[in-house]
Structure formats: C-alpha cells, structure tokens
Amino acid sequence: MSIRRNEPCPCGSGKKYKQCCLKKKKVVELGQVKQEQFFQMKKRLSERLAEEVLGFYSFLEYQALMKEFRERMGVSDIMDGYGHHWLMFFYRHPAFGGLRGIEWYNRKRGRRDEPALQRMAQVWESLVPRLIQHVDFNERGVLVEDLFTHERFHMPYCETLPEPQPWGGAFCLLEERDGGYYMNGVAATVGPGKLKEAKKLLKSHLDQTGDSYEKASIDLFPETTGALLQEAEWLVKEESKLVHTTLVYSMTDVNQVMTVVHQTGRLDMEEWDGHSGKGSLVANRYRYEDNLANGSVYLNEVEGIIELAGNQLTFQSIDQRAAAKFQQLLMSIPQADLIKEVKESRKVPAGVQASSFSVALEEGVPPVFAHFAHQAMHTKDLHLPLPQFNGKAPAEMTELKKHAELEQWLRELEYASYQNTKSQTKEKWTADFNQLRKALNRPLSPFTTLREERESAIVRLEDSVEHTAGWTKEDLELWDEMGLPVHEIKNEYARDLLDFFQEKGAGKSSNTFYKYRLGVQVISHFFVEEKIERTTGILPEQWEALIAYYYLEFNHDATTNQAKGFLTVVKSFAAWLDRREGTAHGPIVKQLVKELETPILQAITILEAYTPYHERRYEFSHHMGQFRRIIEKGEVPGQIVKGYFRVKSVTASYVNFVKIDEPGQVFKTTVPKETLSLIQSGMIFCGSLAQKTNWKIYSAERVYPKQAGRAVPERRLPSGH
C-alpha cells in the first residue's frame, strides 16, 4: 500500500509523511546511492592499479614474489588476492625506485586518470594498515578500535561489512568517505585471539627495532596477516586424554538388574518395547531460562548411555568415575555378569572438560537456544581452574585483578559462540555473556542481544530421587559448587559434608575454597568406595585408608603443597565431627597425619621425578612423557610390563619390585640415587617397567606409601591400568 505525501506519517509522529519519514527515506536512499558510486569508483581504480602494477611483472618474477609472500605469511593455501594486495600497496620493488606499487602508480599513470580517481589514489597512497577490533555497533554500522592508537572509527554496513562480529577484527587499510570508514583491499575478519597474536608480533618488532608503526606495519604486512590466518598451534602443544568406556553385561534376569538401576533414581529410559530399549543415567537436571525466548530449555547431564538388547546390557560413558560407579553397582547384582570391557582413548586439547547433555526445548523455542543453554552450562562454574589462566579459576582471576586476561577470555568465548550460531538464527541473536560478565564484575558486552536488559539463568532442578527434602535452594547450589554428584545427597553423610564446607570453605579466599573443595571431594569418594553411611562409625583403619590411599588414588595431579592442604582439611574435618557428633576421631586422625605426612610427600616426590606435574595435570599420556625422556637419552625400551608393583626390597643401587597380581617374578630395577633414597619397602607403584639391558621405571601413574598396602588389601587394587 502506497502512502500519499500529505497523509499522516505511519510512524505515529503526527507529522505529514512528506515532512517526516519520506525525508528520512530519501536520505537513506541518497546515502545508498553515494555508497554505491563510491564502491564503483574503488572498483575502477583497483582494476587500473592491478593492471599497471601486477602487469609490470614477468610470469617468473610474479610467481617468485607470490612464493615469497606465502613463505613470509607461513600459510601456503591462501587466495592470490592477499598477495596482489601486498604487491600493490606494500611491496617496494627495486625497479620502482624503492616505491610501493601505489606510489609508483601515482607517479606514472595516475595523472592520466580523471580527477576523482586521482584524488582517491592519493588517499590510498597515504593509508597505513591498522589492526582494528569491533567494539560496538548500532543500526548504521560498527564501531572499531585501533589496537595500537586506540582511535575509534565508525564503519557503515556495506557489502564488505554486512554485520558486526563480536570482538572480531582485521589488519587492513581504512578509507574515509562521508564520515564513515571502509576497508580497502583484501582482509579477513578473525577472532580476538588472533588479533592478540598479531598485536604481539608487531609490538615485539617495534620494541626490538625502534621503527615507526607506519614502517613496521607496511614492512611486516605478510607476517602480520599470516599471524591472523595461520591455524592455531595450541591444539598440538598441550593435549590430554579422553577415555571412552564401554561395559557389556550378560543378564540372567533383566527385570532384577534394571530394577536395581532404576532404584538409583537416575535412570531415564527413552525407548523400551519390552525386549530392547535405550536410556541414560542422569547426574543432574537443569533448566535454562532466557527472556529472549518464549519458553525454557531443559538439560540432563548424562553420566552414561544404556542400551538393552535381549539379555545383554551395554553401558557407555566418557566419565571414568561414572563408569567405575556403574561397574561397582552391577557387581552387587548376581544376575549381571561383565563379559566385555573396552577403553578407547583419544587426544583432546588440554583443559577440555568432558561432559554430555541431552536437551529438550519447550514448544516455540528456537533450536539456537540449545546452544545458548550449553554455553551457560559450561561457564557457570567460575571456580573451575582453566588452562589459559595457568590453572587459576575465573573467580580467582577477578580477585587477583587480572582484568585484561579475563576480558580477553570473555571476548574469545563470545566470538566463538557467535561463529557457532550465526547460521542458526535469522534474527542474529547471540548468547548471553552479560550474566557471566556481571558475575565477574566486568563491563557488559554491547554484542549480547538486548544488552543490559538481557536476563538468563541456569537453574538446577530437584533430584528425581527426592532425597533433597530439607535442603534449601542455597544448599543445593552450594553442593553443586562443591563439585559433588547430586545423587549422593541421599546419603546420610551428605549434610555433614555440606555443613562442614559451609563453615570452612564457602565464601573464603580462592585458595581456602579450593583446598576444602578438594578435601570434601576426596572424603566423599572415600565414603562411597568404603560404603560408609554415617560419619560416626568411621574406623581407625578406614581413616588410614583415606589418608594413605584414597587421596593419592583420587588425585592424579597431587603435589606436595596440595597434600599438605588436604591433610589439614582431614584433621579439621575429624575435629569438626567430634564437636558436632561427640565422636573421638580427632586424636586418631592427628596421630595418623603425623605418621603418614612424610611417606605421602616422599611418594609424591618419587612420582614427580618420573611424571612431572605438568604432564599429569590434565591427564596427559604419562607413558608418552616418559618415552620422550628415554628417547632423549638415546634409550629405546624393549620389553614393557604394566601394572601395580610392590617394593619387595631396596638395596644400595637398585629396587626389587614384584607385580601384585603375579608375585612370582622379581624385577631388579635400576633407580637414580636421588630417587632411590626415597623408596621404602612396601611402597606400591602403579605404572610400567621396561627392560632393554636392565629393568628401569618406564612410566609412573601413582605411587603410594607402604601404609596404603596395609590399609587397602591387594584384592581391592585394580588389576591393571
């Protein structure tokens, strides 16, 4: 329907259409026409520049220069446009008298162009590459910031800039036209991580040479562009191991077995026809709420997948602790017999937190909100150590006032989320990173849809077993912060652990928080493994097992400082129980710690000698680290024996090991003197021995003091690793 000039304007201003939006429409149309004319003129000049500059080179010279460009970039598979841009704007050819292509063009050919093109060419000659980053936007365009000068420029939306990319940017020439700035030539928009690398490269050159920024940015155009376009190398520098476990059972009574599994309250069957079916074991249930969506997203944190086919049950999980618990559960059922166990490993980037979720969307909620919910789940724990912070957590980085590092991390997250979801929504909605920013006391992101008005939350739902009676929402949230499975709330000791942590760890400094968090996690693991239901009935030998065995068994990345902190927590917990329950655990635990502290620290020192902390931290492949050290010494191992070994005896120059599940053979093992002095008879060693001429320790995964063997019978130790 057309609107007549003298009719009221449909925008509701009360003015006539000709005096209101008709004028605005004409302004917009005029701006579009001027922008189109500008791009057409740029195209004509670019074609002439390319014809003169690129056409100057012979075939062989052109190929040699393009090869040089690719080598300097460090990227072989790159489109020719980048090389052409370099030759036209930055490369100084001897035949041009040391002039850049655009400078030579202006002196040779430019004077024959029409005045408008001559003026544009003169502008091009004055341009200097800028490292820019998107920092804000509005309905007309994007605001970018020069990462060196911190100047800000408005870039109108156009064919080369259709939309803002959260914290993305480029290394490019910026050309001004009618108050707006446009990219000139070829440039790739990349994320904030790549921008940081490029800035580091340029800054390092400036610091070393004292060159002006203009000279450095022109001379280092290939290297700087290469820093933006090279594939990330951190994926191969640090890797950890993700283990996928498959357990296959034969059942003589399907109903009896599945009844026991069902009684855990965590079984969620999706399919069942009376003979076969599929389901999952759910650890926690969550609801994601977002004021941008017309409904909620429901997430189940899946510990493992269960498949039933006749009398066979298959359980699969990427959570080794969940797999071990499921295996322990079915060990108590005579009608279930484990017939196959398979562990498959694959390498993943260091620090990756393996988790699996099933997702359900309420009717009318777009699929992109499933991604937003996942994003919120993976960033909700601000006390989780991250590799990019050298093992510190975001909350700790806030306390340490590491604002620049936090901001960089947030920007990289937001850019990656945008890239993953931009094709899933026509509305160009983005995930809510402002809730995360609020929690970390950081400035809000302008790229979050609705900006400061956006509200979202992850809400943990009540456990399906309904063992949370008497637990407040705050209790459940604290239990989640403690990192303990929600189904363990049903145990009688759960309230003691919660109250103990509430008093000792919650709300304290990051160091104290983490010390007590680890402590209650180990104690909880110990309670489960020892089938302890009440804290009043812990026996002295069980306390010894906790200290000498379960702490080291639970922590593959134990350190001497961490161990001292754990022992402090155990003493504190025993004394706390005495005050609360009237028990007499305190003196027993105090004496055990006095006896065991030195042996435990010695065991960790031995482990550190063979598998350094940085190799254990993210469950790295331990034997690969040791293999690398053996290769560096020029020794390639021959026969390798893996398992649990007990130290039978120690001499002045070697250690006699016996394999726990095959005690007949004695392995006379050479050990360096500085380590030999720490080894004692009765110690338990988990790892590999290798023999070429003499037996040597090839890899180490755990080392336990001799008291661990007394506290935990050998039949309780795993038969392999």
What pLDDT sits at residue 548?
A: 92
What pLDDT sits at residue 432?
A: 95
- Per-residue pLDDT band at 480 (split at 50, 70, 90): confident
- Per-residue pLDDT band at 572 (split at 50, 70, 90): very high
With a pLDDT cut of 90, the percent of the chain lying above it is 49
Closest CA to 168 of 183, 180, 178, 179: 183
Whole-model pTM?
0.61
- Whether 234 shows a pLDDT value over 60: the answer reads no
Eight-state DSSP code of residue 497: H
What pLDDT sits at residue 713?
A: 53
- Per-residue pLDDT band at 473 (split at 50, 70, 90): confident
* Distance between CA atoms of residues 135 and 149, nearest Å: 14
Q: Which two tokens stand for residue 154?
A: 């408005």
With a pLDDT cut of 70, the percent of the chain lying above it is 87
Q: Which two tokens stand for residue 118?
A: 């001559």
Average pLDDT (163-189) is: 92
Which residues of the chain does CATH 2.40.50.140 include? 623-708
- Per-residue pLDDT band at 352 (split at 50, 70, 90): low
- Whether 16 shows a pLDDT value over 90: the answer reads no
What pLDDT sits at residue 10?
A: 56
Strand boundaries in 510-638, DSSP class E: none
List C-alpha distances in Å: 201 to 155, 209, 220, 224: 26, 12, 9, 7
- Per-residue pLDDT band at 58 (split at 50, 70, 90): very high
CB 299 within 8 A of CB 358: yes
- Per-residue pLDDT band at 379 (split at 50, 70, 90): confident
Which of 5-19, 105-119, 194-208, 423-437 has maximum average pLDDT?
A: 194-208
- Whether 465 shows a pLDDT value over 50: the answer reads no
Higher-pLDDT residue of 51 and 237 is 51
- Whether 28 shows a pLDDT value over 50: the answer reads no
| Residues 6 or more apart whose Cβ sits within 8 Å of residue 621 | 239, 241, 345, 347
Pick from 3-12, 426-435, 455-464: least confident: 3-12
The neighbour count for residue 638, using CB atoms within 10 Å, is: 9
What pLDDT sits at residue 252?
A: 93
Element spanning 513, H or E: helix 510-530
Average pLDDT (492-506) is: 91
What pLDDT sits at residue 623?
A: 43
- Whether 232 shows a pLDDT value over 90: the answer reads no
Average pLDDT (87-107) is: 92
- Per-residue pLDDT band at 26 (split at 50, 70, 90): very low
- The domain defined by 239-349 folds into Double Stranded RNA Binding Domain (3.30.160)
CB 78 within 8 A of CB 70: yes
- Per-residue pLDDT band at 341 (split at 50, 70, 90): very high
Looking at residue 524, its amino acid is: S
What pLDDT sits at residue 622?
A: 44
How far is residue 626 CA from its own chain's centroid? 26
- Whether 209 shows a pLDDT value over 60: the answer reads yes
CB 280 within 8 A of CB 270: yes
Between 1.25.40.20, 2.40.50.140, 3.40.50.720, 3.40.50.1370, what CATH number should domain 623-708 receive?
2.40.50.140
CB 698 within 8 A of CB 690: yes
| Mean pLDDT rounded to a whole number for the chain | 85
700 beta partners: 687
261-309 confidence digits (pLDDT tens): 887 778 887 787 767 889 889 888 899 999 999 899 999 889 999 999 9
* Distance between CA atoms of residues 530 and 276, nearest Å: 34
Which residues of the chain does CATH 3.30.160 include? 239-349
